[in-house]
Amino acid sequence: MSYEEKNAWRYLVIGVVIPIAYFAIILQRVSTTPVSEIAYQPLLLGAIGLAIVAAIVLAILTSILFGSKDDRADQRDTAIGRRGDTVGFYVMSIATLGALALALVGAEQFWIANAIYAAFVISAIVSTVVKLIAYRRGF
C-alpha cells in the first residue's frame, strides 16, 4: 500500500467519524432548542480543528508505528489524487447550491453554516472514496 493510499484511508476515517459526532450533537440540540439559540459556532470550529489535529497526529503515529519506506508520490499517485480532487470539486459545487438556496430564502445562519459544512464533508468523503477505488481497482 502506497503512502498516499494510507493517507486516503486515514482521511476517510477522520472525515466520517468527526462529522458524525458533530452532527449527532447538533441534532440532539436541535430537538430541544430553537436553532436561533444554539451556539453551534464553537462546536463547528472545534470539529474542524479536531479533524486537522487528528490528521496530523494519525500521520505521525502511523509513520512511527509502521514506518514508511517511501513517502514520495509517483505518477500514479498524482493522477489518482487529481481524479479524486476533480470529482470532489464537482460534488462540492453541487452541494454548495443547497447552502446558496438556504441563503436566498433567508434561512437561519445555523442552517446555512451546517449546509456548507455538510458540503465540505460530503465532498471530502466522495473524493477520498474515488481515490481508494482507483487504488484498489486500478486507474
Every domain of the chain and the residues it spans = 3-137
The C-alpha atoms of residue 114 and residue 97 are separated, in whole angstroms, by 13
Residue 53 near residue 85, CB atoms below 8 Å: no
Residue 23, pLDDT score: 95
Question: What global pTM score does this model have?
Answer: 0.88
What parts of the chain have a pLDDT lower than 50? Answer: none
Mark out the alpha helices in the chain (DSSP H runs): 3-32, 41-66, 75-104, 109-137
What pLDDT sits at residue 69?
Answer: 63
Give the pLDDT of residue 29. 93
pLDDT score for 44: 96
Burial of 124 (0-12, 13-18, 19+ CB in 10 A): buried
